[in-house]
Amino acid sequence: MHSFQQQAGFPILTVMTFLPTLGALVMLALMRGRPQLYKSTALVTAGATFFLSLAMVLKFDQSSADFQFIEKVSWIERLGASYHMGVDGISVLLILLTTLLSLVIVPASWNYIKDRELTFFASFLFLETGMLGTFCARDLLLFYVFWEIMLIPMYFIIGVWGGPRRIYAALKFFLFTMAGSVLMLVAIVGIAYLARPDRYAAPVFDLDQLQKAVFSFPVQVAAFLAFFIAFAIKVPMWPVHTWLPDAHVEAPTAGSVILAGVLLKMGGYGIIRFCIPLFPDAAAAAVPYILILSIIAIIYGAMVSLVQKDLKKLVAYSSVSHMGFVTGGIFAFNVIGLSGAVLVMFSHGLLTGALFLLVGFMYERLHTREISLMGGLASPFPVLAAFLLFFTLASLGLPGLSGFIGEFLSLLGLFSYNKAMAVVAASGIILAAAYLLWMYLRVMFTGTRDEEWFKLSDLNLREIASLAPLAVLAVWVGVYPSTFLNIINPSVNKLVTQMAPYVAQHGGLLTHLFASRGGL
């Protein structure tokens, strides 16, 4: 047995990860039938987790690209698996997003759920543990366990508290994700065995060791594909995105927020953390294909959003489009593009989370999400309209708000890889403005459809409180992104430097076709 090897004396990652579980267990064991008490407990737990993560961010050494707050304990010795946690800049940012959104959804769904509330809030706390663990794990097997743990609460959240077609949506979500995960599991086991120093050694699941291993090109390609498909489904990339609209439409508001805000980021995070550093040759060779898929996603998602009739579906398809900037930025393989991709993830989490919250608030009042049944909502609900406008604008990439920085950097990275691709991708921004503003027009502007709406109340303090932090952060990222860029920069630089020789080696198909690679 190895003893603790940690830099910080206090196991902050473990405490942060399992605090929600603890809260959930306490709630389930002691507070059955006392809604005010368990809701408050959920709030306190999520809040404490958020502040722990905040403390972690503040203690995080921004000058280093190394993994920090490392905790390593032997776990399944025979299998070579260890309980190995650690974070770098990219994880830190996403952890912050996770804890923030998990906190925000508690007040937002205070009165939203009518039955089995206790289990509902407990599910979200369990889910939070899964998400945080996924972002912290430095051991493939541990990662896989957390990855799968996430799936179960989410399945129930959609399947139990969802809309009328919830069973279909939950099953679709589960099957899509499972299909990817199974492939990934095979690949994990495969490389764990291939990475052994000799035949009799235990398999290698530890990422530090795996990164030193060199796999032959065919193995890399196979494993890369297996991992990539799993993550691409989560992102979701075109054409494996169709679970997302269904899942979103059926999921309860809080579920949508977490799904879009955090779960999709798992895909991008997984690609950055596993696909690329473990299989650099394959990743470099796959660049042109993935970029094409990303661009299709950007344009396709935006175009399909344009004709949606359901608000949630519209936001869901817009996520497909925005996440295209993530994969596009990542696979441009330069510092600018990759930073942009990470920032898009962060900002998309904030903005889409907020948009889903707003749709939820509207649903609570109007009992519909159908765009054609709305209209003129700005008159009865001015505060709601202002918030929706703010997040709509941020989402369509208005400079000065968070959406712009990430998308611009991501596009700039893409531009320096291949100009033609960037031009096509950039046209997605026009489409984004089109579908979002058109939506806003039909929902908020023109004559008020129903005079009864004037009797309904505008956003209350609780709802504003759940939106305000997201709005503040959206402005913060837009006006002073350095706070966030400084956190991720060292890690991004390190990854790009690692990848540079591989990218140089695999020119790829498209560079020959377009022959317009700028130097960055």
Partner 1 sequence: MKAAVLLIPLLPLLSFAFTGLLGRRYLKERSHYVSVAAVGISWLLSMYVLVEVERGQTLSWQLYSWIAVGRFSVDIGFLVDQLTAVMLLVVSTVGFMVHVYSIGYMHGDKGYYRFFAYINLFMFSMFMLVLANNFLLLYVFWEAVGLCSYLLIAFWFPKRSAANAGMKAFLVNRVGDFGFSLGIMLIFITLGTLSYSGVFASASTLSGGMATAICLLLFTGAVGKSAQFPLHVWLPDAMEGPTPVSSLIHAATMVNAGVYMVARSNPLFAQSHTAMMVVAIIGTFTAIFAATIAMVQNDIKKVLAYSTISQLGYMFLALGVGAWTAAIFHLLAHGFFKGLLFLCSGSVIHALGGEQDMRKMGGLKRKTKITYWTFVIGALALSGFPGLSGFFSKDAVLTGAFAEGYWYFWIVALITVLLTAFYSFRLIFMTFHGEPRTDPKVFAHAHESPRVMTVPLILLAIPTVIGGLMLGIPPENGHIDRLLHHIFEAAIPAGEHVFGPLTLSLMIISALVGIAGILLAWHLYERCPWLPNAACKRAGRLYTLLLNKYYIDEIYAAVIINPLRGFCGWLWRFVDAGVIDGAVNGAGWLAMGAGRLLRPIQSGKVQGYLFSMFLGLLALMVAYLLFNI
Q: Which residues of this chain interact with partner 1, rule CB under 8 A?
A: 172, 176, 239, 241-242, 300, 303-304, 306-308, 334-336, 339-340, 376, 378-379, 382, 393, 398-400, 404-405, 408-409, 411-412, 415-416, 419, 422-423, 426-427, 429-430, 433-434, 437-438, 441, 444-448, 480-482, 485, 489, 492-493, 496, 518, 520
Contact 360, 112 (CB under 8 A): yes
Query: 119 — phi, psi (to 5°)?
Result: -65, -35
Which tokens hold the place of 296?
Answer: 């299709």
CB 182 to partner 1: min, Å: 14
Residue with smaller CB distance to partner 1, 183 or 411: 411
Residue with smaller CB distance to partner 1, 196 or 419: 419
Residue with smaller CB distance to partner 1, 353 or 376: 376
CB 10 to partner 1: min, Å: 32
Residue with smaller CB distance to partner 1, 210 or 421: 421
Q: Within 60-116, where are the H helices?
A: 89-108
Residue with smaller CB distance to partner 1, 144 or 300: 300
Strands 68-76 and 81-87: antiparallel
Three-state DSSP class for residue 396:
coil
d(CA 358, CA 513): 45
Render 126-174 in DSSP notation, one character per residue. HHHHHHHHHHHB-BHHHHHHHHHHHHHHHHHHHHHHS-TTHHHHHHHHH
Three-state DSSP class for residue 279:
coil
Contact 91, 68 (CB under 8 A): no
Whether omega before 236 lies within 30 degrees of 0, making that bond cis, reads yes
Q: Name the residue with tokens 């764990």.
A: 192
CB 426 to partner 1: min, Å: 6
Residue with smaller CB distance to partner 1, 130 or 406: 406
CB 92 to partner 1: min, Å: 17
Q: In this structure, which amino acid lies at residue 215?
A: F
Which residues are CB-contacts of 446 (< 8 A; sequence separation ≥ 6)?
Answer: 375, 376
Which tokens hold the place of 79?
Answer: 């299998």
CB 416 to partner 1: min, Å: 5
Residue with smaller CB distance to partner 1, 16 or 421: 421
d(CA 516, CA 433): 29
CB 20 to partner 1: min, Å: 33
Query: 72 — phi, psi (to 5°)?
Result: -140, 120
CB 99 to partner 1: min, Å: 25
d(CA 510, CA 55): 45
Contact 81, 104 (CB under 8 A): no
Q: Within 332-445, where are the H helices?
A: 335-366, 382-395, 402-417, 419-444
Residue with smaller CB distance to partner 1, 54 or 373: 373
d(CA 467, CA 444): 18
Residue with smaller CB distance to partner 1, 203 or 376: 376
Give the sign of the dihedral formed by CA 348, CA 351, CA 353, CA 358: negative
CB 441 to partner 1: min, Å: 5
Residue with smaller CB distance to partner 1, 8 or 307: 307
CB 419 to partner 1: min, Å: 8
CB 396 to partner 1: min, Å: 8
Which tokens hold the place of 303?
Answer: 């175009």
CB 303 to partner 1: min, Å: 4
Maximum CA pair distance of the chain?
A: 76
Angle of the 461-479 helix axis to the 382-395 helix axis, nearest 10 = 30
CB neighbourhood size of 393 (10 A): 21
CB 439 to partner 1: min, Å: 10
CB 35 to partner 1: min, Å: 33
Residue with smaller CB distance to partner 1, 79 or 179: 179
Contact 143, 75 (CB under 8 A): no
With residue 288 as reference, give the H or E element that holds it: helix 280-306
DSSP class of residue 8 equals: S
Residue with smaller CB distance to partner 1, 72 or 241: 241
Q: In this structure, which amino acid lies at residue 106?
A: V
